[in-house]
Amino acid sequence: MGTFLASRVMTDIFGGLATGAVVALIALSLVIIWQSTHVLNFAQGAMGMFATFVGMNLVFHGLNYWLCLLLSVVTGMVLGGVTERVLIRPLYGKPEINPIVVMIGFLGVIEAVIASIWTTNITMLPSPFSQIYYQSAGHTILVSPFIFYEVALVAIVVIAIALLFRRTNLGLQMRAAALAPEVSRLLGVRVGRLLTLGWILSTGVGTLAAVVVSTGQVLAPTNMDGIFVSAFIAAAVGGLESPLGAIIAGLAIGLTEQFILDFWSTSIAPLSGVIVLVIGLSLRPQGLFTKHVSRRV
Amino acid sequence: MFRTVSQRYPTGFRLVATVVLCAVALAITFVLTPLDDSKLAGGAAMSIVILGLSWLIGWSGQVSLGNAGFMAIGAYTTAIWANHHTTSPIIWSLFLSTVLGGVSGFVLALPATRLRGPYLAGMTLAFSFAVAPLAIDSRSLTGGSGGLFINFLNSPSWFANLFSGSDALVKANAQWPADVAIVVAAVAFFFMANLFRSRTGRALRLVRDNEVAAELVGVNLQRTRTLAFVISAAYAGLGGSMMTLLSGSVTPQTYGLTLSILLLTLMVLGGIGTLSGAVIGGLIYSYSDNIVSIVNKVTGVNPTSTFGANLKGIVFGVLLILTMMLAPRGLVGLGSYLRRLVRR
């Protein structure tokens, strides 16, 4: 009995971390957009899903998985750039609720567009890696090659983004444009372009997450809804400003939800996210991982 | 029209105006077809929810996506109560749903009113997502994913006797719910018209526009925001209750993200923060299928294709985006703009 429980706990830890990794990735993409344009992209999950449909649907027509993945990410990036230019740019300087409402409307449009173009395919999107747990001398080792792929992909993307923002000139410019747009403009930084680039980067990352979520699953327009909510909670608890906070909170939420799912009830899991958010934000309204910022009058 | 009335005239006048407008609406239901009656009934119920959302977003600046969740609470309260007390008058269902909507609003408001902008919108979105799975799982109480059914709101005999002819009963049974919904909506609108002009209403606008100034003149920020949230949730509960009474059923799938987006769309299209905007939003809801079929005809889309089936979501989402970007004050704002243009 003891070993059974231990193996169940271990399975939950690995499964939770794998889910958490994807949640963290989307949370990170939300933070990138928030940092560059101070918009919370409510359509992030749906946009990623749209791009996933464009690219990954071709797998069913015999195209290579990796080629489709690349195609999806490129589609996501284009969609992100266009969205920033067309929907977000006219709203800079408008009241806070305008971009919120517009992005919620966009979320509705995209989900309806996906459902209207692609009939829900009941075949699963095949995974390039096996989802069957490793076996060793009759014992199951709780990890599948797919989980390795998932976690490795997320780790690579996170490291690449960290390097981009910390080590390159472009990353420095992006941070400057977000932090002090007026000063950056005076110093010759093309702020407008960099904001668009922030969106392109973010939706690219979001699409990657959507592809990973959908791999080994049925492609459905609402695949990302639950995950997006978890990711938002992670980003908010982390403080929306902090990439590291978003990642840590994302992993924590993945673990929490997995344990609640396994030991308590499936239906409580979404509510547990709300509770985590409430507790997190009551402790520190500005997020657990940001320095205190006072609002000026 | 309603808005200028509520701005210039005292409570007594608002009462008369509400009674007159309500009587006109009731009179109109007598000449409508049964189909139009039931469409209008849905619109009246929805306008209550839209008004509550409009109050929250327009007057206190808190963007909530949780009102579909509060509607679900009202809708289930009504269904459960009506099934246990089949003979109790519907006023009890409506009252209980409103109170429970308000109470759950209070619980969510405790954390929600500390949050601003996107944080609040995201938290209420998460709440919206959590309601349906909970309803599906609490099978013994809510009937699981199949939902609950209650008796239809059939016309009492004295009302049916007003009609004659072969399909008198059909007409009476379609019009009675519409008239009930209109009266309930009139009460809700009257209360809100007074609230707009009340001390709380003014305080709320000040909190929205300038927190520091509000605090300096002695407004309790937390209490004011919480009150706004609770009233909005109570209106959603009342509207949800009315929806259950009208449709005779409640299912968890009805009250999801799509409904939250639809509510937001109807409110923005009508005009944020106005009484007439909520009426217009309700009317648009009533005739949304007609609007979509017009789009169908104009674009030549086959309504039975997958594209046609999802056209409603696309049309209303696009309308929401366009209105917010080009005319954020909605049709009401457009109306007052045209009036000014004519006067000039």
pLDDT of B276 reads 92
The mean pLDDT value of chain B amounts to 87
The phi, psi pair for A72, rounded to 5°, reads: -60, -50
Check whether A292 has a pLDDT greater than 60: no
In B47-191, the DSSP E strands lie at 148-149
ipTM of the complex: 0.86
In B109-252, the DSSP E strands lie at 148-149, 249-250
Confidence of residue B228 (pLDDT cuts 50, 70, 90): very high
Q: Decide if A51 contacts A210 (C-beta within 8 A).
A: yes
Best of B257, B267, B301, B315 to substitute, by most chain A Cβ atoms within 10 angstroms, is B257
Q: Which residue has the higher pLDDT, B330 or A287?
A: B330
Best of B125, B225, B255, B267 to substitute, by most chain A Cβ atoms within 10 angstroms, is B125
Q: Which of B125, B136, B320 sits opposite A101 (nearest CB)?
A: B320
**What's the gap in Å between the CA of A138 and the closest CA on chain B?**
37
Task: Scan residues 144-203 of B and list those with Cβ closer than 8 Å to A.
Answer: none
Specify the DSSP element, H or E, that contains B26. Answer: helix B11-31
Q: Decide if B48 contacts B242 (C-beta within 8 A).
A: yes
Rounded to whole angstroms, how far apart are CA atoms A235 and A225? 15
Confidence of residue B142 (pLDDT cuts 50, 70, 90): confident
**What residues does B250 pair with on adjacent strands?**
B148
Q: Does A236 touch chain B (CB under 8 A)?
A: yes
Please, what is the end-to-end C-alpha distance for chain B in angstroms?
Answer: 20
pLDDT of B9 reads 67
pLDDT more than 90, % of chain B: 38
Check whether B3 has a pLDDT greater than 60: no
Helices (H), chain A: 2-37, 44-56, 65-83, 97-117, 145-167, 169-179, 181-186, 191-214, 225-238, 243-263, 268-283
Check whether A289 has a pLDDT greater than 90: no
CB-CB neighbors (< 8 A) of B324 in chain A: 98, 101-102, 105
Of B28, B45, B29, the closest CA to residue B189 belongs to: B45
Q: What is the DSSP letter of A124?
A: B
Confidence of residue A296 (pLDDT cuts 50, 70, 90): very low
- pLDDT (tens digit per residue) in B164-190: 877 888 888 889 999 999 999 999 999
**What's the gap in Å between the CA of B20 and the closest CA on chain A?**
35
pLDDT of A278 reads 77
pLDDT of A286 reads 63
- Mean of pLDDT values over B15-36: 90
- pLDDT (tens digit per residue) in B48-88: 999 999 999 988 888 888 899 999 999 999 999 988 887 77
Specify the DSSP element, H or E, that contains B122. Answer: helix B117-137
Within 10 angstroms of residue B33's Cβ, the number of other Cβ atoms is 12
Check whether B6 has a pLDDT greater than 50: no
- pLDDT (tens digit per residue) in B290-299: 888 888 888 8
Rounded to whole angstroms, how far apart are CA atoms A20 and A249? 9
- Residue A256 CA to its chain's centroid (Å): 17
Q: Does A116 touch chain B (CB under 8 A)?
A: yes
- Report domain extents, chain B: 2-286
Best of B106, B145, B255, B310 to substitute, by most chain A Cβ atoms within 10 angstroms, is B310
pLDDT more than 90, % of chain A: 26
Check whether B343 has a pLDDT greater than 70: yes
- pLDDT (tens digit per residue) in A197-220: 999 999 999 999 999 888 877 888
B324 with A102: Cβ contact below 8 A:
yes
CB-CB neighbors (< 8 A) of A233 in chain B: 122, 126
- Mean of pLDDT values over A14-24: 88
- The tokens for B177 are 């719910």
Instruction: Report the residue count for chain A.
Output: 297
Check whether B4 has a pLDDT greater than 60: no
- Report domain extents, chain A: 2-283
- Mean of pLDDT values over A68-77: 95
B265 with A90: Cβ contact below 8 A:
no
Rounded to whole angstroms, how far apart are CA atoms A16 and A96? 35
CB-CB neighbors (< 8 A) of B119 in chain A: 236, 240, 281
Q: Classify domain A2-283 by CATH number.
A: 1.10.3470
Question: At which residue do the structure tokens 């089949």 appear?
Answer: B86
The two counts, helices (H) then strands (E), for chain B are 19, 2
Rounded to whole angstroms, how far apart are CA atoms A138 and B277? 67
Rounded to whole angstroms, how far apart are CA atoms B28 and B178? 11
Report the DSSP pairing between strands B148-149 and A139-140. Answer: unpaired
Rounded to whole angstroms, how far apart are CA atoms A117 and A113? 6
- Mean of pLDDT values over A22-41: 89
pLDDT of B233 reads 96
Q: Does A237 touch chain B (CB under 8 A)?
A: no
Check whether A141 has a pLDDT greater than 70: no
The phi, psi pair for A91, rounded to 5°, reads: -100, 0
- Three-state secondary structure call for residue B333: helix
Q: What is the DSSP letter of A285?
A: T
- pLDDT (tens digit per residue) in A143-193: 788 888 888 888 999 999 889 888 888 888 888 887 788 888 888 888 888
Check whether A257 has a pLDDT greater than 50: yes
pLDDT of A106 reads 94
- Three-state secondary structure call for residue B148: strand
pLDDT of A239 reads 77
Check whether A135 has a pLDDT greater than 70: no
- The tokens for B74 are 């009202």
pLDDT of B5 reads 44
pLDDT of B289 reads 86
Best of B131, B140, B261 to substitute, by most chain A Cβ atoms within 10 angstroms, is B261
- Residue A55 CA to its chain's centroid (Å): 18
Instruction: Report the residue count for chain B.
Output: 344
- pLDDT (tens digit per residue) in A84-134: 999 998 988 888 888 889 999 999 999 889 888 887 666 778 878 777 777
Check whether A267 has a pLDDT greater than 90: no
What value, to the nearest 5°, has the Cα angle with vertex B318 and ends B317 and B323? Answer: 100
